[in-house]
Structure 1
Amino acid sequence: MSPAGFAPRQDSDWPDMVADMRAGFAGQLNVYRIMAHHPALLRAWGDLRTHIVQNTALGPQRAEVVILRLAHRLDCAYEWNQHVVRALAAGLDKGRIASLRGSLAQMTAPDATLAGAVDALVDHKRLAPAQLDDVVAMVGKTGALDLMATVGMYMTLGFILNTAPPDLEPAIAQALAQQAPELAV
């Protein structure tokens, strides 16, 4: 449960400054309902979120690999569980998803390249030149920048979620229980 001051904002308590955002992404997920305690931040977040979630050069499967590895590294149950369901919808199988919690050696080579980049950003705050070359060879310069931006954006969400953990949305919890209960954390 979230600390009392940071519980997800309900429709009846939704700020006027972001009233137009409630029917979209911001009203659909508890993390953004928490962020609604700072309407200006939520408003500014919208464009970056749209790019990272919908327009990333990584593509949906690679983006989910990056997000799941980061959720694992941040020990962020909400984000992990949320993205297990999204990863399944994007076409990742359960074994591939499960591997993202393990060592790079147990992943496919492309997933290990992406997960290794996440690990380097978390551990060293940068990609080494050879690692950047590997990422660029796989996803191009725009993909490499999108990978770094995805890690940055989801780290921020992870900080919020680990500080004020909300309940998982009922529809996501139900989908996770039906599709991949063995992957839930």
Structure 2
Amino acid sequence: MTAPLDLPPLADADWPEEAAALRAGFAGRLNVYRVMAHHPALLKSWQTFRNHVVRETSLGAARSEVAILRTGVRLEAPYEWAHHVVRGRDAGLSDARIRSLRGPLSGMSAEDAAIARAVDELIDDACLSAGAQAELAALVGVAGVFDVIATVGHYRVLACILKSFGTPIDDDIAAALAAQPID
């Protein structure tokens, strides 16, 4: 049996020169991007898309976190779940609302269920049904429909990286969840 690649988060001393400018920004703050730094060209290319999905989304912070948390649940990605519990709280989501995203659509608010339904369809079918498109467009507009699709795609790629290489949850996030558990 072949051993998996050993690609831990890169320390500052091992950071590739080709991506040096990114270390002080988003890429140096999180283990997922420190792992992605093993491929500097990908990390550099990722920056623009990541900035749109994370910072410039038409969904707003709370709705974006709903989409990300549901994606993390569906993809069984504990790193994303942990990070976005903390970010979701920062965006104003209550723990009850966050916990509801792990369960059936019937246990969520109508708004969260519309977003979660879209996430579920994208993960299950790589496509939004006409009904999900209409429901989502009524809630977030056409740009929001695209942003939900982009968010799921972005976090699916990250989940593949995280799970493939066993990326550890960042220490500050682990400490925050130890101090204020979600379960």
Distance apart, 1:76 and its partner CA: 0.4
Which residue pairs with 2:156 in the alignment?
155
Q: How does 1:2-13 map to 2 (within 5 A)?
A: 5-13=6-14
The reply to whether residue 166 of structure 1 matches residue 167 of structure 2 is yes
Structure 1 counterpart of 2:102, which letter? R
Superposition pairs of residues 47-126 of structure 1, within 5 angstroms: 47-126=48-127
**Distance apart, 1:175 and its partner CA:** 1.1
Report the equivalent of 1:32.
33
| Corresponding residue number in structure 2 for 1:182 | 182
Cα distance in 2 for residues equivalent to 1:56 and 1:89: 17
Give unmatched runs, 5+ long, in structure 2. none
Q: Deviations over 1:23-51 (max 9, x none)?
A: 11100000000000100000000001011
The 3-state SS of whatever aligns with 2:111 is helix
Cα RMSD of the aligned pairs, angstroms, is 0.9
Q: Quote the sequence identity (%).
A: 49
CA distance in 2, matches of 1:172, 1:17: 28
Residue 144 of structure 2 corresponds to which residue in structure 1?
Answer: 143
1:131-154 Cα shifts (integer Å, max 9, x gaps): 101101100010100100000000
Is the CA contact (8 Å cut-off) linking 1:6 and 1:37 kept in structure 2?
Answer: yes
- Note the alpha carbon deviations across 1:82-109, whole angstroms, 9 max, x for none: 1000000000000000000000000000
Give the superposition deviation at 1:67.
0.3
- Say whether the 8 Å CA contact 1:72–1:80 is kept in structure 2: yes
Cα deviation per residue 1:104-140 (whole Å; 9 max; x = unaligned)?
0000000000000000001111001121011011000
Measured after TM superposition, the shift of residue 5 of structure 1 is 2.3
**Displacement of 1:182:** 3.2
Partner AA of 2:176 in structure 1: A
Deviates more, 1:82-91 or 1:125-134: 125-134
So what's the TM-score if we normalise by structure 2?
0.96
Is this contact kept in 2: 1:72–1:101, CA < 8 A?
A: yes
Q: Which runs of 4+ in 1 moved over 3 A?
A: none
- The number of equivalent residue pairs is 180
User: What does residue 42 of structure 1 align with?
Assistant: 43
Secondary structure in 2 aligned to 1:167?
coil
CA drift at 1:173:
1.0
- How far did 1:177 drift? 1.5
Shift of 1:4: 5.6
CA positional deviation for 1:57 = 0.4
- Counterpart-to-counterpart distance in 2, 1:168 and 1:149: 23
